Amino acid sequence: MKNILIINGHQKYQSARGILNQTIMDEMIHLLSENYEIKTTIIQEGYEIEEEKQKFKWADVVIFQTPIFWFSVPGLLKTYMDEVYAYGLFFEGSKEYGRGGLFKDKKYMFSVTWNAPENAFNDPLQFFEGKSLDEVILHLHKIHEFIGMKPLKSFACYDVITNPNIEQFKANLQQHLNELFELS
H or E segment at 30? helix 19-32
Q: Please tell me the distance from the alpha carbon of residue 40 to that of residue 42, in angstroms, as a whole number.
A: 7
Biggest CA–CA distance in the chain, Å, is 48
Rounded average pLDDT per 10-residue block, the chain, 184 residues: 92 76 95 96 97 98 94 94 95 91 96 91 85 93 97 95 91 95 78
For CA atoms 167, 171, 177, 183, give the dihedral sign: positive
Question: How many other C-beta atoms can be found within 10 angstroms of the C-beta atom of residue 100?
Answer: 16
Contact 72, 106 (CB under 8 A): no
What is this structure's pTM? 0.94
**pLDDT score, position 130:** 85
Residues 6+ apart with CB under 8 A from 157: 20, 24, 112, 113, 114, 169, 172, 173
For the chain, what are the domain ranges? 3-180
CB 84 within 8 A of CB 52: yes
CB contact set of 175 (below 8 Å; sequence gap of 6+): none
| CATH class for the domain made up of 3-180 | alpha beta
Gap between the Cα atoms of 117 and 162, Å rounded: 9
* Residue 184 pLDDT: 67
